[in-house]
Structure 1
Amino acid sequence: MSVDILFLNLTRFGDLLQSQALLEDCRRAGLRTGLVCLDNFAAALPLLRSLAEAWPLPGAEFLRRLDGKGPGRSWHDAPALLLNFVGRLRQEAAPRHVVNLTATLPARLLASLLAPSPEAVTGFALDREGFGLCRGNWAAYLCGTTLKRCNAPFNMQDMFRMAARPAVRALGTAGTDTIPSPGGRLLPPSETANAQAATLLAAAPEGCRGFVGLQLGASHPARQWPQSAFAQVGDGLWQAARLCPVLLGAPAEKALARAYARQARGPFLDAVGATTLPVLAALVARLRLLVTNDTGTMHLAAGLGIPSLAIFLATAQAWDTGPYLEGCCCLEPALPCHPCGFKQACSRDGGCAGHISPRTVLRLALGWLESGRWDAGLDQEIRQEARVWLTTREAAGGFADLRCLSGHEHEDRSLWLRLQRRFWQKLLDEMDGVSAASDVPALSSDILSAVKASGLARAQLPVLREAAHFLAALPDQCRLAAAGHPRMGQLLLRACDHIQRLLESRDELASLGYFWHEARQAQGGDLQALGGLAGTLARHLAELDRLLAS
């Protein structure tokens, strides 16, 4: 039962499903993979393709025992449970390598316990002294993207793949530099789950011509589109297309279903809290369309090949957490403050929740149902309300991408995200030593012209130039410090800290500042490697400067 790579993904349902493309990478590389996930999502494991074995972590039971509610009513039962779990995994999985995709300290500790050596951990790890570090360039960048929402231009499924790439390339027998299409497809639901779903749908009203799913909840109330708006869309789809709405959600979201029921005028089926994860998958697989907030159900639909009309509010944005399926439609409120930052108070008192109207969602849905095109229902009113994105895929590199249908691709935020995709993909591929760097798509002529005229992009030039200047001087300083030049070590440290403070002074460069901190820490005392890192960054910043200033 031993595995080549053991993956740790200990966060949400959607994140677990977004491991699918990574598992397919490993299969193509000839690797046998295992997975550790939270036990409350274990029912979704049969949907994952190319997974040899899985070990659900009893997280809830661990916390219960930690609170003194275990068998002996002592917190000592909690570490005993964890150590027994680790011992069983080390024996059964016997992994050659661990890839940790969860950045929390407990996940890093678990990864270090399961790995055959401290160095056999890729992703989010601990050093030998117990301090956190990111082992891998893409992993360091992934951590940095969480600091500010303007720094996350890659789909999370691709980020997981790239964070694990060093381990997959080192252990695999086949190349994984490029991303095959389509990728990310889940296995179909079981016959038992399909039968239970059919029973639920059998209660559809007379005249029903199909089903549309409505996922009412989200991970945070600020990310939830109003139930009254969902009800208007559900009623409209029934009246215009005789598609019966099916309400989807977890037991904790039953109050949202009751609110929907109070405001709906047409028929609907309520499956909120009435399904297991396998039956939820079977229901989703029977839908014509899913209308949803940014949720795990959206990722489930994408993995099953079911298109979504997804609404991204508050901190949610389509660039990084959108569906990994081509042909989906993602809506964001066309507001300059969207997306708001994590742990940041809303400047509009939650106003973005009502900015996208039921008319907009219904018109887009009906246009797509009638013609297969999301732009069929677009009009000027929709363009004023929402940024409308179509999920696509890069022709060369294979990364998931977005194409704007509403004319917002020339907004400063959109241009900055587009520019960052090119910068980071080229930089990190080169640092990983892979040939994919040559496949990075060039900016189109109209986007390039807009980027050069963008006030937001050009505002970064002074900081980028100063940082590039200091970085370009670091290789010589590293050589002098290695040769024992008096005081050069202290001057070198000051220069490194100045570069970090400089980059962190701009929200748009926060991920670059974090990456510089993590990358230089990973070099330890290797001054030659630090000088090489500085030289590489200086060269890429100079190229970015030339692009913006030309």
Structure 2
Amino acid sequence: MSVDILFLNLTRFGDLLQSQALLEDCRRAGLRAGLVCLDNFAAALPLLRSLPEAWPLPGAEFLRRLDGKGPGRSWHDAPALLLDFVGRLRQEAAPRHIVNLTATLPARLLASLLAPSPEAVTGFALDREGFGFCQGNWAAYLCGTTLKRCNAPFNMQDMFRMAARPAIRALGHPAAADEPSHGGRLLPPSDALRQQVDGLLAAAPEGCRGLVGLQLGASHPARQWPESSFAAVGDGLWRSAGLCPVLLGTASEKPLARAYAKHARGPFLDAVGATSLPALAGLVSRLRLLVTNDTGTMHLAAGLGIPSLAIFLATAQAWDTGPYLEGCCCLEPALPCHPCGFRQTCPHDGGCRRHISPRTVLRLALGWLASGRWESGVDDGLRQEARVWRTTRDPVSGFVDLACLSGHEHEDRSLWLHLQRHFWQGLLDELDGMPASSPSPLPADVVDAARLSGTVRTLLPVLQEAAHFLAALPEQCRLATAHPRMGQLLLRACDHIQRLLESGDELTSLGYFWHEARQARGSDLAALARLSERLAHHIRLLTALLTS
């Protein structure tokens, strides 16, 4: 059966689950959605709500054939497999539009092969000459946020929704697509599935008053809290609350479970490598609480309504990859170097892994279990170790937000992230022709602190100069239209703005967005003039807020 929009999400388990809210946006807009994911995560597809059809991509088999290990032992079998897959999808799905949420070149190529026309791709696309570009303002912004960790103030699930919104509005009911979403909930595991895990849980020790999940692994060792720390928390939760720890993870994480066992003094259940993805969902649904690194299991728990106490280390930060569920607790090490950049070697030998103590995590967990409030576990010692965030929702936009519980909301990084949320949402909504859905007004104390921030004071002259040159561009576009030889002057002005916005880490996403947006409008000087005018306007609004 044909679909209106076919989503491509070809990355990890957690990213797949973070497609949930935009699938619900499609349903509300009266659209039939389909999804392409990697086949090794296909077992998670029954958990996704509002997904009538899905097509797993045989990625591992494709790579095997590309290495000459396929049926004919020739790399030619790999493109043959891909083209067979594309042909079947074009026939079965017959998509009206493709929304590609994966920025890799292979995903862009697949989107081009599946789309009915080059224009019918939103998100990460290829132009007619085969060069990658971002089709859509939120998509361009999303790509830029990955460059520096101080430029990602929105939850990934909200960014996916906004990147897909132009296509959903164009094909469905616009009013429904514009409504704030409180979605993201996965389908609950069936009774049969929950009963399936009862055999594992039957081994819980006498006196057990509930279960707490411990997800020991992460996507990279630098993001893993030490197994000894997990063991100390697990022992403390058993001793003080009667909660039996359940170790979660894939078969490749069995060494982590063995390390946990060496340090543990209390009982625990080892489910590492013992569950399929559906069975993992059944097990997670039985938990009182999940203590976890930044993992797909955390997103699974959020989708099932199970609160998490999540620890974000190295490159991980709560702002963009935190749980899409209100009332979760996110911890980041209170270190000036956190979060570190991608592809950056840690000069401190992974010190952030050891900065948050088991005492801190245990105190927070026990305080929440006793009172339902994460604040009750915060003390002065904890504030020295961790930034503590509670997940909330912005009442105006419906976007997931963070409330600081540890007094770190006036740090330069925190202030800059809050300011960027305010700036980008208003700008991108306007460029998309959307009703304004800016977040609630910034609290007065945040604005006052931002005016005194060293980071903001450094950025203000750059932003003011960029706004000045942007405001002058519409006239230069007019002159270049009338006198083509003036085009060189226009190009030099655009390049000067680019250099300004690339002069510091804090403006990297703005610099990337300007590059992508002006490239997309390069052949339409009237569109470039409108972009420049609106960008200058929003930068001036921001600088006025910080200088008035």
TM-score by length of 1: 0.99
Question: Could you tell me which residue of structure 2 aligns to residue 496 of structure 1?
Answer: 494
1:39 alignment partner AA? D
Matched, 1:163 2:163: yes
Per the TM alignment, residue 548 of structure 1 is displaced from its structure 2 partner at its CA by 1.5
Residue aligning to 1:462: 461
Q: 1:59 to 1:213 in 2, by over 3 A?
A: same
Deviation at 1:182, TM superposition (A): 2.7
Deviation at 1:192, TM superposition (A): 3.6
Alignment deviations for residues 509-528 of structure 1 (CA, whole Å, 9 cap, x no partner)? 00000000000111131011
Give unpaired runs (5+ residues) of structure 2: none
Q: Secondary structure in 1 aligned to 2:252?
A: helix
Q: In the alignment, what sits opposite 1:202?
A: 202
Paired amino acid for 2:532: A
1:98 corresponds in structure 2 to 98
Q: Kindly state the Cα deviation for residue 195 of structure 1 after the two structures are TM-superposed.
A: 2.1
Separation of aligned partners in 2, 1:151 and 1:178 = 25
Counterpart check, 1:125 vs 2:129: no
- For 2:71, the aligned partner's letter is P
Q: Kindly state the Cα deviation for residue 177 of structure 1 after the two structures are TM-superposed.
A: 5.2
Corresponding residue number in structure 1 for 2:85: 85
1:62 aligns with 2:62: yes
Show the counterpart of 2:387.
387
Q: What letter is aligned with 1:126?
A: L
| C-alpha separation in 2, matches of 1:375 and 1:465 | 39
> Which position in structure 2 is the counterpart of 1:215?
215
Amino acid at match of 2:480: A
Structure 2 distance, partners of 1:291, 1:297, is 10
**Residue in 2 that maps onto 1:257:** 257
Inter-partner Cα distance in structure 1 for 2:390 and 2:331:
9
Counterpart in 2 of 1:231? 231
Corresponding residue of 1:478 = 477
Does the 8 Å CA contact 1:30/1:174 hold for their aligned counterparts? no
Report what 1:442 is aligned to: 441
Give the alignment partner of residue 518 of structure 2, picking from 517, 520, 528: 520
What is the rounded CA distance, in whole Å, between the counterparts of 2:526 and 2:313 in structure 1? Answer: 46
Q: Following superposition of structure 1 onto structure 2, how do residues 392-431 of structure 1 map, counting pairs within 5 Å?
A: 392-431=392-431
**Counterpart-to-counterpart distance in 2, 1:57 and 1:86:** 10
Contact 2:501-2:510 at 8 Å conserved across structures: yes
Cα distance, 1:190 vs structure 2? 2.9
Specify the alignment match of 1:240 in structure 2: 240
Q: State the distance in 2 between where 1:7 and 1:22 align.
A: 10
SS at match of 1:2: coil
Q: Is the 8 A contact 1:244 1:267 kept in 2?
A: yes
Cross-structure match for 1:533: 531
Sequence identity, in percent? 81
Q: Distance in 2 between matches of 1:98 and 1:393?
A: 29
Is 2:328 aligned against 1:318?
no
- Which one is further off, 91-100 or 520-529? 520-529
Given that residues 26 and 177 in structure 2 are in contact (C-alpha distance below 8 angstroms), is that contact kept between their aligned partners in structure 1?
Answer: no
Q: Distance in 1 between matches of 2:428 and 2:388?
A: 29
Cα drift, residue 428 of structure 1 = 0.3
Q: Is 1:451 aligned to residue 450 of structure 2?
A: yes
Distance (whole Å) between structure 1 residues aligned to residue 423 and residue 324 of structure 2:
22
Mapped to 1, the partners of 2:470 and 2:356 lie a distance apart of 45
- CA-to-aligned-CA distance 1:314-352 (integer Å, 9 cap, x gap): 000000000000000000000111000111111211000
Match of 1:137 in 2: 137
Q: Secondary structure at the match of 2:83?
A: helix
Question: Gaps (5+ residues) in structure 1?
Answer: none
> Is the Cα–Cα contact under 8 Å of residues 3 and 95 in structure 1 kept in the other structure?
yes
Cα deviation, 1:115-174, whole Å, max 9, x if unaligned, reads 000000000001111111100000000000001000000000000000000000000124
Q: 1:178 to 1:383 in 2, by over 3 A?
A: farther
User: Which one-letter code corresponds to 1:354 in the other structure?
Assistant: R
Query: CA distance change for structure 1 residues 14 and 340 in 2, over 3 Å: closer, same or farther?
Result: same
Q: Distance in 2 between matches of 1:151 and 1:378?
A: 27
**1:177 and 1:436 in contact (8 A); partners too:** no
Q: Note the C-alpha offset of 1:457.
A: 1.1
Task: Report the 3-state secondary structure (helix = DSSP H, G, I; strand = E; otherwise coil) of the residue aligned with 1:266.
Answer: coil
How many residues align? The count is 548
Give the Cα separation in 2 of the matches to 1:66 and 1:189: 37
Partners of 2:297 and 2:338 in 1: how far apart?
A: 23
Question: How far has the Cα of 1:179 moved from its partner?
Answer: 4.9
Alpha-carbon contact 1:520-1:530 (below 8 Å) kept: yes
Equivalent position amino acid for 2:463 in 1: L
* Residue identity opposite 1:503 in structure 2: L
TM-superposition CA deviations, 1:392-444 (whole Å, max 9, x none): 0001111100000000000000000000000000000111111134x432111
Q: Contact 2:86–2:113 (CA<8 Å) still a contact in 1?
A: yes
Offset of 1:383 from its aligned partner? 0.8
2:14, 2:116 → 1: CA distance?
29
What secondary structure sits across from 1:133 in the alignment? Answer: strand
Indicate the residue corresponding to 1:508 in structure 2: 506
Matches within 5 A, 1:236-385: 236-385=236-385
Letter in 1 for 2:354: G
Per the TM alignment, residue 458 of structure 1 is displaced from its structure 2 partner at its CA by: 1.4
Deviation digits for residues 489-515 of structure 1 (CA, Å, limit 9, x no counterpart): 111111111111110111000000000
Superposed displacement of residue 468, structure 1: 1.0
Provide TM-score, normalisation by structure 2: 0.99
Aligned partner letter, 1:477: Q
Give 2:516's aligned amino acid: E
CA change 1:369–1:124 in 2 (3 A) is same
Q: Distance in 1 between matches of 2:396 and 2:178?
A: 8
Letter in 2 for 1:158: D
> Distance between the aligned counterparts of 2:539 and 2:303, measured in 1?
37
